[in-house]
Amino acid sequence: MAMKKNVQDIINKQINAELYSAYLYLAMAAWCQSENLTGMAHWLKVQAKEETGHAMRFYKHLEDRGADIKLAAIDAPPARWNSVLAAFAEAYKHEQKVTGMIYGMVDLAAKEKDHATASMLKWFVDEQVEEEAQTLDIVNKLKMAGESKGALLYLDKALAKREG
């Protein structure tokens, strides 16, 4: 069954959003690196790679369905943050926004009775629970660390262990 244009359009828009997410996390990684927080920079680089993978999952879905793939310009992300907490708080807020976009896609797929897209999106619904939980956990730990340089360095070392 051919994919409706409005479903194609929203998936193409999501490809762009996922690639913007990768850009955002790379920008955060570069900033963390400049602040000598190499563990946090590593964690964010792994996250950027994951976001690129998400974009490719959407791309493949369009490709597999014979749909039109239309790539758009990716906005430039910010380059600096006032603090590590501010950067990760922005990451958490961004993940909440992405979750809302995924939910909008789920709603559209259901409305259009696009069962293949609805099935594909289930993975993303579950993934967003994990994405939000991970970033919120880091935000909460940074809040607990407060002004403690030792706690910040401990968290930096912990985040360096992320695989990917």
- Cα–Cα distance, 6 to 50 (Å, whole number): 26
Q: Residues of the chain with pLDDT > 70: what percent?
A: 100
Domains defined for the chain, CATH in brackets = 5-159 (1.20.1260.10)
What is the per-residue pLDDT across 89-118, written as a single tens digit (0 to 9) for each? Answer: 999 999 999 999 999 999 999 999 999 999
* Burial of 5 per CB tally in 10 Å (0-12, 13-18, 19+): exposed
Q: Find the helix packing angle between 149-159 and 38-64, rounded to 10°.
A: 40
Helix or strand run (H / E) with residue 95:
helix 84-111
Stated pTM of the model: 0.95
- Cα–Cα distance, 142 to 107 (Å, whole number): 35
* Burial of 130 per CB tally in 10 Å (0-12, 13-18, 19+): exposed
What is the per-residue pLDDT across 41-69, written as a single tens digit (0 to 9) for each? Answer: 999 999 999 999 999 999 999 999 999 99
* Burial of 21 per CB tally in 10 Å (0-12, 13-18, 19+): buried
Residue found by looking up tokens 């570069």 in the block: 30
Q: What is the mean pLDDT of residues 11-26?
A: 98
Q: What single DSSP character describes residue 4? A: P
